[in-house]
Each structure stands twice: as structure tokens, then as C-alpha cells.
Structure 1
Amino acid sequence: MTAHRAPERLIRPQAAAKPVRWAADTVSTMREGARLRLDYSTQSLWRVDRMIEELRREQTPYAAVESVLRGFGAYAGEVIVRQAQGSAEWLEAGGGHWIRTADGQFWDPVDEARRCFGGHGSLRLLCLDATAI
């Protein structure tokens, strides 16, 4: 979990609209379907990491969970933005959505969710790294 190099061609206006909606949809879906309560806290990302690990252990095909992983990544990004209390923001670049923190670093929580599914990442640790200002 390291910060990424600045993506080329950053777009700010309304960059947060999609990931914020994905995050909200994930919170609602997990509450209703999986009885998993997500409260935008860093601690809740531990539960998300466990859920992704469960999907991986069950050998769920990537195509079946691609949008779920995008939602989990967006949720983690929203946790970062909220924990940073105004010093982090969503940006859109290269077809993806990134978080830029106050120290100028860029984070890709959606990609980190994919890495988690591959057994090589942690949304909780990404959040801790991104908010350790």
C-alpha cells in the first residue's frame, strides 16, 4: 500500500459523484443483504477486508464480484475522505477515481480492493496509510 504517482489529466468537477454513490450503494446493500453494518469508520474496513477475503477463499469468479469490489473500494475511499476531515478529495483521471490527500499523494482504493481480492492488499491498511498525516 503505497501512494501512487500523480495520474495525468486530473478532473475535479463532480469527480466524487460516482464513487460517493457507489459507496452509499455498498453501505445499503451490505446492510440489507449481508447484515453487515458499515459506518464509514476505519474499523469498518477490517470487516470489508474480511468479506473480500471470504469471496476470494470461496473462489468466486472475478467477473461476479467486479462491481462489488468497486463498491468496496469506493467505500474505503469515502472513509479516507471523511477521516481526513476536508484535507482529502476524490479526483478522476484516466478513467479511474483517485483520492488525493493533503500531502499531495494519490491513492487508488478501487484498485486496492482488487488487490485484496487477489490476496495482496488491505483497505484498512490503505486507509491508515493515507490518513497518517
Structure 2
Amino acid sequence: MTTVTSGSTTPQQTRPAVAAKPVRWAADAVATMREGARLRLDHSAQSLWRVDRVITGIRDEGAPYAAVETVLRGLGAYAGEVIVRETGGEWWTTGGDHWVRTPDGRLWDPIDEARRCYTGDGSLRLLCRDATGPG
């Protein structure tokens, strides 16, 4: 959605309000990884290799899910932001869950995929590959 702000002659991109929470969660995850793990995340599809490895490391340390739930939510939201930026998609919400809808109409759940990574059943890198590939 493009709007023109008051006193401005150039259009400015705005994001739907539904994106506010996952965008904030993703930003928090980027800051946490930068400060705590000295890991720079640049919102590229390639960076999701590192995110998958971080989640594997957390799982291998035996951290209980309750202790890492917020981190996983943030890393999933980060992956969602990568998909949004790579595809031109947008965040959707229903029943408190946040999804990414790609321009081809498909829905993706990167936050749940991060949880699945933690259990050894998922991959944010592969989710992004699937979301950005042909539908």
C-alpha cells in the first residue's frame, strides 16, 4: 500500500498494522543475535542457514521449550520478514497467529516452522526456498 504523507510529494511505503508485532519480534531477534551471539542477520535468504544452525544449537544444549519460546518466535518472525522482502508478500493474522501471504496467494507459517526446527522437524531455510520458488 502506498500513501502520500502530509507535506510530502513522494509516496512512502507503509505496512499493514498486522505486520507490527512480527516486525518487532524479528527486530528483537536480530538485535539479540547481534549482541548475544555476535551474529549478523542481514534479511537475506542465505542468513537463514545461520538461523537454522542457531536453533539446532539451542536444541542440542537441551534448553526447555518454555525458556526459548520467545527466541523461537523472534527467529520465525525474522524468517517471515525474509520471505516478505524476497517475495513482496505481507503478514496476515488470524486467531492470534501470524502468517506470511506471498503474492501467489500461498500462506506460510514461519513462526511455527521455527518451533518445528527446535523439535528437529523443520527448516527456516527450506521454508524460505519453498516460499520464494515457483508456486
TM-score (norm 2): 0.86
Alignment of 1:102-121 (within 5 A): 102-121=103-122
Q: CA deviation at 1:27?
A: 0.6
Higher Cα radius of gyration: 2
Q: CA deviation at 1:13?
A: 4.5
Count of aligned positions: 120
Q: CA deviation at 1:29?
A: 1.0
1:31 counterpart (21, 34, 37): 34
Identity of aligned residues (%): 73
- 1:132 alignment partner in structure 2: 133
Structure 2: how far apart are the matches of 1:13 and 1:38? 23
- 2:8 alignment partner in structure 1: none
Structure 2: how far apart are the matches of 1:13 and 1:37? 27
Structure 2: how far apart are the matches of 1:19 and 1:13? 11
SS across alignment from 1:41:
coil
SS across alignment from 1:16:
helix
Indicate how the Cα distance of structure 1 residues 119 and 92 shifts in structure 2: closer, same or farther if over 3 A, else same: same
Q: Does 1:79 align with 2:88?
A: no
- Where structure 2 has 5 or more consecutive residues not aligned to the other structure, the ranges are 1-14
Report the aligned-residue RMSD.
1.1
- 1:5 alignment partner in structure 2: none
Structure 2: how far apart are the matches of 1:33 and 1:59? 18
